[in-house]
Copies of this chain bind each other. A is one copy, B any other.
């Protein structure tokens, strides 16, 4: 029997994932760029990006190289763990990201009313989280919703990460993290 829901979902997915051939970039490159715009500083590495995109390290390495060649992303080595590569959006990258043209995902969501979105969002979240957990992939949630997140730490910085033992700025807390585990 033909599963219409599955086919519909797959088609929608293709339309969304295949979107982004403007400005001389490819869909994955846009997604990488967008990820770097919403990930906190611990998560802006090739490895985390690979986990987010569901690709191999090798593939991501090339995508990052291309973005660097285009002057949109910068790689810098980490002083503490010298295996790590930190990725940063350049000014050009950030600028490009800000004037992103129409986006298929957003266009689709725009067709839903606020009420419908309020029903849709948790369903999608549940579906995605269940899948990721079943496959042993990282969920990538908001830092502030993590069980290692310590709100209003006493010292300097407003918050604190109990896992990495590191102070968290306001931007970090509002961003996505590879290490996130739901509270």
Contacts and interface: CB of A to CB of B under 8 A. Distances in A.
A8 B112 contact: no
B124 A111 contact: no
Copies of this chain per assembly: 2
A3 B106 contact: yes
Given A6-B105, A10-B16, A105-B13, A123 B128 contact: no
Contact of A127 (B55, B103, B112, B176): B112
Interface of A: 2-18, 31, 34, 37-38, 52-55, 103-109, 111-112, 116-117, 119-121, 123-128, 130-131, 134-135, 140, 142, 174-176
Contacts of A109: 5-6, 9, 127
- Name the 6 nearest CB pairs between A and B, nearest first: A111-B130, A13-B16, A17-B17, A13-B13, A13-B17, A108-B131
Contact of A105 (B9, B52, B125, B176): B9
Given A10-B105, A105-B6, A15 B131 contact: yes
B2 A14 contact: no
B8 A17 contact: no
